[in-house]
A and B are shown apart, each in its own frame.
Chain A
Amino acid sequence: MFLMLVHDVSQADRNILQGGSFIDYLMVGAKHMLTGYDHLLFLLGVVFFLKGFKDIITFITAFTVGHSLTLLLATHFQLAVNEFLIDAIIGLSVFYKGFENLDLFKKVLKVSPPNLLRMVFLFGLIHGLGLSSRLQTMSVESERSFLNIIGFNLGVEFGQVLVLIPMVWLVNFWRKRSNFQAFYFALNTYLLLAGLVLMAIQLVHYAEH
């Protein structure tokens, strides 16, 4: 199970997408979301703000619309972005979410945090660029029909729903317990650290290449 949690472009995925069908693209998209720990960590940070069904719909829709837009358009028009830089910004988004959740905008910067919904949408756009760069790396352009890109995107959404269900359940379950504050601070402090580490790793890769 642990070995599956790899956020990478595996040769197995390349093989699947060579001559792959809509379903193949859908499956690889779902797998990519389920194994993409930077996307998962960002979603975890967002989940702390989802207290009701309305919140879930609003924020997840903003994130989904954001990453779907850039995933579909950037892939279709073959917009090449440096995947290391994009992944570094995605790492930054994880850090940002932890920073915001710990109320460090007010405590450290003495300012109010930017509108969360807008930021979730903005980071959704960036996550979509990251997903697009992966898809462009994994597949041959001539075989990447718009339908296949949509398949990959739907797979991403499917994977996202699969991840969100246990995440929302876990956070809401813990919310009712007396030690929720410790759990909240521990996880969000971890998001700060993990975001910095992810960003640093990608910047090192960028410098090396």
Chain B
Amino acid sequence: MAEIMYWEALQRAHDEEMARDPLVICMGEDIGVAGGTYKATKGLYEKYGDKRVIDTPISEGGYTGLGIGASFLGIRPVIEIMSVNFAWLAMDQMFNSAAKVRYMSGGQLTAPCVFRAAGGAAHQLGAQHSARMEKVFMGIAGLRVVTPSNPKQAYGLLKAAIRSDDPVFINEHELMYNMKGDVPDSEYLHPLEGSEIARAGSDVTLFGYNISVHWCLQAAEILHSQHNISAEVVDLYALSPLDREGIRKSVSKTHRAVIAEEDEAPVGVGAEVIAIINEECFFELDAAPVRVHSALVPQPYNHTLEKAAIPDHTDVVRAVLKLFGKA
């Protein structure tokens, strides 16, 4: 077990999979000669050459479609979208071609490709570079969506996604590439479905994914040390399909739920998790579930406004205290 950074975990996964299978390729803007905006493909151009580590023009719809077409013939492309905001330009190909081709061909053709995108709000990048778009991807039949919260998941989910016969969208976070964490020394594939209990607890479940798992963990520590509340933190690393059984089990144990998402609330992970709670374990609830989410605004540039728009661990603590009638 070694402690490495999130970007190093992604780089290692790319490298190992490319070494294992000559049909694995990477494509995207600035991923080759320049080494990748977030270094996820650092050194691979030198190692595997320009036929397998492909610097693309700034043509998201075109190169995403090209990668999907290559996957029809057995190539395993990892298609990097530099910022998830640019994925809007590629969604026609992701959704209409990759996600639907298996179904509309009656199972004859499949698109085993991986889409990776840096998502989330970083610092003062403004409305067109700060979108959280997981809500869009997780509603598409035929597309798997995962979102790693730590280096181990980043490594294991990417490797598993490359080997999956389904198209997989991996939602990363611009602020997490330098996060450190333990990654197994030996090869490790992370399941593409399910959820993980990041911290066990008994009084309330805090559901998070990607960066909001860390808000939940911080909040759980504060709730434990300052308020004597035992919070369980569930990491929903798979957003599609969501882990109905994992959600049911935890809520059936704690009887209370808070869902923390960096995305805006309408039509998001929070809404979906609450719907699942209603469907799976409504009568286990001692209180109505609560969402912690962003304000419904295009992300503002101004630092204070931006901070006000995006939640953090203090919002999670506040939501829990309210749930217990303590705030």
Interaction A to B = no
Binding site for A on B (CB under 8 A): none
